[in-house]
């Protein structure tokens, strides 16, 4: 009997500790599949952020380094500059990347670091229990915005792809949604492209994945997908912002 569907090689056979319905698990799976497809498990270095995905410590079978909150792109810079032969990637949430780590992501992108950053945006601080993130939608409730996010005093939800696309250095800037199978397919193809860019020495790639957080959104799994369709994807437009073929610096 042949195996039709198997666990990606870079994932350990441990139970996922993500909440039921959480799309982090989907993101994990497609990244691992891409690593398999490229055959780069032995040269991949994964820079973990602070947030729910810190739990990746126990689920990945790759060389891993845990970084401080928001600092993953700086850590990845140090690694990649010393080991240009390795595939170095960060996986960061929206609290990590768009709030405390804004300087690190923008500067790494602007330097055109030859790394790949995968950005999971679920519009909330999940790990710490549902506080407002820079990406929380106007009107969306959070434990630090109990009547919903207000424009006055907190501003607009931050659109990272739209910020990064203004820089000249990045080679790939794309936003996908993990809500539908089509979105997952697009996300998988974008991650593949982002990794290939790095392996070919092209430069910085940024892939944003719209995700959910049923637990802190106080919905069930399907309800969270409805919310994404009705609100998240209306504000955060899913498209390719930048896709440059030539290597950065040439």
Partner 1 sequence: MEKRFMKGCEALAEAAVRAGVRFFAGYPITPQNEIPEYMSRRLPEVGGVFVQGESEIASVNMVYGAAATGVRAMTSSSGPGISLKCEGISYLAAARIPALIVDVSRGGPGLGSIQPAQSDYLMATKALGHGGHRLMVFAPSTVQEIVDLTYSAHDFAERDRNPVMILIDGCLGAMMESVALPEMREPKPESQSGWTLGRREGETRGAHLISPIYEAGLEGLNRQFGERTARWQKEDVMVEELYLDDAEYVLTAYGMAARVARQVTEDLRREGYKVGLIRPITLFPFPKESFRKLVPGTVKGVIDIEMAIPGQMSEDVAASLPQGIPLYEYGHSGGVLLDDADTKAAVLDIISGNKEARA
Q: Which two tokens stand for residue 156?
A: 């607009």
Smaller CB separation from partner 1, 107 or 154: 107
Query: What is the binding site for partner 1 (CB under 8 A)?
Result: 42-43, 45, 47, 54, 57, 60-68, 71, 74-83, 85-86, 103-104, 107
Q: How far is the CB of 246 from partner 1 (least distance, A)?
A: 23
Q: How far is the CB of 29 from partner 1 (least distance, A)?
A: 18
Instruction: Give CA–CA dist 51/18, Å, rounded.
Output: 11
User: Rounded to a whole number, what is the distance in angstroms from the first to the last CA of the chain?
Assistant: 50
Smaller CB separation from partner 1, 66 or 223: 66
Smaller CB separation from partner 1, 39 or 153: 39
Q: How far is the CB of 82 from partner 1 (least distance, A)?
A: 4
Smaller CB separation from partner 1, 168 or 237: 168
Distances (CA, A) of 88 to 22, 79, 131, 228: 25, 7, 30, 30
Given a contact cutoff of 8 angstroms between Cβ atoms, the answer to whether 97 and 186 are in contact is no
Smaller CB separation from partner 1, 63 or 243: 63
Smaller CB separation from partner 1, 198 or 224: 198
Instruction: Give CA–CA dist 137/195, Å, rounded.
Output: 30
Maximum distance among all Cα pairs of the chain, rounded to whole angstroms: 62
Q: How far is the CB of 60 from partner 1 (least distance, A)?
A: 7
CB under 8 Å, gap of 24 or more: what pairs does 182-190 form?
183/210, 183/238, 184/26, 184/30, 186/238, 187/27, 187/30, 188/30, 188/33, 188/34, 190/240
Q: How far is the CB of 149 from partner 1 (least distance, A)?
A: 27
Which residue, among 79, 39, 225, 163, has the nearest Cα to 175 in the 3D structure? Answer: 163
């Amino acid at each position: 009997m042949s195996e039709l569907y198997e666990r990606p090689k870079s994932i350990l056979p441990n139970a996922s500790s993500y909440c039921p319905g959480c799309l982090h698990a989907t993101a994990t799976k497609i990244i691992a599949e891409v690593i398999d497809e490229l055959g780069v498990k032995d040269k991949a270095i994964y820079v973990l952020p602070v947030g729910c995905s810190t739990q990746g410590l126990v689920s990945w079978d790759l060389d891993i380094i845990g970084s401080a909150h928001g600092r993953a792109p700086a850590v990845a810079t140090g690694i990649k500059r010393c080991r240009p032969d390795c595939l170095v990637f960060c996986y960061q949430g929206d609290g990590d990347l768009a709030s405390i780590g804004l300087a690190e992501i923008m500067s790494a992108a602007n330097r055109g670091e030859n790394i790949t950053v995968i950005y999971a945006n679920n519009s909330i601080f999940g790990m710490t229990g549902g506080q407002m993130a820079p990406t929380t939608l106007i009107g969306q409730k959070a434990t630090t915005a109990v009547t919903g996010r207000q424009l006055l005093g907190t501003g607009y939800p931050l659109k990272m792809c739209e910020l990064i696309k203004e820089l000249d250095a990045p080679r790939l800037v794309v936003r996908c949604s993990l809500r539908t199978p089509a979105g997952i397919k697009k996300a998988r193809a974008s991650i593949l492209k982002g990794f290939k860019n790095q392996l070919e020495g092209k430069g910085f790639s940024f892939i944003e994945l719209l995700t959910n957080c049923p637990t802190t959104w106080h919905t069930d799994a399907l309800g969270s997908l409805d919310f994404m369709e009705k609100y998240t994807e209306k504000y955060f437009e899913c498209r390719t912002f930048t896709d440059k073929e030539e290597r950065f610096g040439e």
